[in-house]
Structure 1
Amino acid sequence: MNSRLASLHHCIKAAILFSFAMYIVYLVKTDNIVYYIAPRMTDYVKWSAFGFYLIAVYQVYRGFRAFSGSSEACDCGHDHAPSSSLWKNGAIYGLFCFPLVLGFALPETSLGSSVADKKGMNLSSAGLVKKEGTTAQSPPVKPAPAASAPSPDPNSSSGQSGQTNQSETVASAAELDALFPSDKFTEHYAKYAKQLYQSDIVRVKDEMYIETLTTLDLYQDQFTGKKLELTGFVYRPEDMKDNQFVLGRFSIQCCSADAAPIGLLVAYDRAQNFNADEWVTVTGTIRKTKFNEMDILMLQAEKIATAEPAKTQYVYPNPKFGT
């Protein structure tokens, strides 16, 4: 092959590799990488940019050697030069250039209702755990009324007072254990449920979004009647009632390709006032209902406020949960 043509091929490869490296750097610098990759995977992507850069430098080196006519040969009796067909080369390089053009040209945006329509909204985030476990759905146990504490004896010792307080604490823990049964699949959720249950209002934080909804879904009866505060985007499928919408988020395990919409059904008299993909914070009371012949939780809204979209609009499994 002509040395100039061989050098050109190496330079094109180097340019493509440099472009991929620069695109990754751009996503990292602008924090837009969260639209595509889960936080736990970003370090690997950053290292891949470094790898692209090194290979690109090597391609430039090979290009200079080819241009000077000192390119290496393997002496295998075969020609490993690129095809001389302009169309074939254009098609091959185009496969790599096309996603680069899309990446630089199109604006970064989070997934929304249109994708939820195609994938389907998951209103029972504990579905997989329910299939594996069995005891989390046991009937709710009403906590026994706390025994009235005896009148303090001024002559009693401080040690006796400490023993009384300790017995009351143990009794409270025993009541919670009875209220939230668990097995090997749900023990971490039961422990978290006991923490949530003792709060006046359950506020769902982004870093525990998946775990909180899963816990509430596992123990539907126990949390019915509790106050809940949740933030997300409005999703309204065609078959939903006028006074209902879903408050959803997209959960990501690895990258946006595996994004799964999860959320909670919301009932509100003025639900139609809120547009699809609008971000709101809903405060209300947890209820149980049936949707598509499935028992799910519903949030009976008492207050809905417009919210700013979260900086990181996706939610991810918490790696520290259960440790």
Structure 2
Amino acid sequence: MDIPHADLTVDKDLAARLVTAQFPDLAAPVELIAQGWDNALFRLGDDLAIRMPRREVAAHLVEHEQRWLPTLQRLVELPLPVPVREGRPAADYPFAWSIIPWVPGTGGAHRTPAERDAYARQFAEFFAALHVPAPADAPHNPVRGVPLADRTAAVHARLDAMAGRLADAVRAELRTAWDAGASAPSHIGSALWLHGDPHPGNVVVAESGALATVVDFGDVTSGDPATDLSAAWLHFTSAGRAAFRRRYEELHETDASTWARARAWAVSIGTSAFAASDGGNGPMARMGRDAIEQVLIDS
């Protein structure tokens, strides 16, 4: 299993009915593109897409996107999936949903770390622009952007539960990487805007290899930028990681503690993806294995 079971059936017929009922001027052929961890994505005609929650636990995350993506778009040059229409709950579908621009390309999870190195500097520029002080009413996320000590028990428990799936030596190195980040000085200063879930499945890559867009802002929050900087290990090889770090440091103040915390966040996000995959070979499993490998390279 690479993704959790849905709480309700979200298919193209339902998506088409909702569009026709609420936004008849946009009615067009609907095609399923992906059933993601929390949301289903459909293409709507040539230029639009439909984003629909498939699990109640994540339904409010689309509301975060509707509220905050217009604000975040003003910070960054990269086009973001700002909703062009905000769908309402209906009798046969209880959640908010969005119609967003369609961006051609492939998901980063379908590329290798070496292929993803092509956008390392561009991704650093995106985060450097995004990481500005967030307002007091920015969404709170209890598992991202927080002090690492808040997550130590959960990460240790996950590593313990992965006995038999990961070699003892690997689990020990991952624990050491986590503990090094957790013991590093904490983020000081304003809570900064964060994407919150910076893994390869949440970027779209153009045919040229450049970033086309960053998607899935459901975990958008504020706090320690190290959460987002875990992308250095989640996406890239050591060469891409070095390019990412150099470019970010040219644009945004940081220190060694920030990168130690970022590597620890890569342990958390990478092992979470790997654990959720049940040892499969889908994109989530590959993302987890790649992240673990890259964290260990820097041991």
Identify the TM-score tier after normalising by the shorter chain. Answer: under 0.3
Which TM-score applies when normalising by structure 1?
A: 0.25
TM-score (structure 2 length as normaliser)? 0.27
